[in-house]
Amino acid sequence: MRIDELKKSIWGYKVSDVCQYLSAVESRHAERIAELQEQAAQAEEQAQKRIGELEAELCALRRENEALLEKRQLTFDTLLAAQAYARQAREETRQHEEEARQKVADEAGRQMSELNDYAAKISKMRDDFRALLEELDGRTADVQMQLQELQAAAPVEAPQPQAGGAEPAETASAGTVSGGVTIFKRRRERATREN
């Protein structure tokens, strides 16, 4: 229902039409808020899943790096023993040692670079997720503000005294509109607290 579909009587909009319009507006905004919250939950679930995967990869790379470091130490010890037992192969052994050391250092550097890349990706995903949550909070606040503006703009006719001091016949109707708006506000506040 749109605002231009509200039916007017001599004393203003009909109470039932106003209540129906406000209920329709509240329903639309509640659906939109629920949709945004579901999107946020899905985004959070995906982000947490991705973070878990990256953390698992990070742990695997750390274990691999530790194994390579142990292998380097073992290689170094073996080369030292070979130098003690075979002085004639000292130059060749030193060359192998330097090659092994360089290979392990290169591999360790490569893995450290990968670890830094994964850490940067995790940090970026967290920042993106935080920004998404802030954006969703802002949208929710905008929707609630629009709802409040619509409620404030809803017409409520004040009773006009008739000649002779008699109250108009629509006094009860105006009171019903005011009561309907009050009930609507209470429902909206309760729904906001529950959310």
The ranges assigned to domains in the chain are 3-194
pLDDT at 73 (0 to 100): 92
What pTM was estimated for this model as a whole? Answer: 0.28
Question: For residue 53, what pLDDT is reported?
Answer: 93
Q: What angle do CA 175, 179, 183 make, to 5 degrees?
A: 175
Decide: residue 22, CB within 10 A, 0-12 exposed, 13-18 middle, 19+ buried.
buried
According to the model, what pLDDT value does residue 164 have?
53
pLDDT of residue 187: 60
Position 89 scores a pLDDT of: 67
List C-alpha distances in Å: 185 to 14, 38, 142, 170. 18, 25, 17, 23
Give the C-alpha distances (Å, rounded to integers) separating 11 from 125, 158, 181. 57, 9, 17
pLDDT along the chain (195 residues), means of 10: 57 70 84 92 92 93 93 88 74 83 91 91 91 87 87 69 50 44 59 60
What pLDDT is recorded for position 90?
Answer: 73
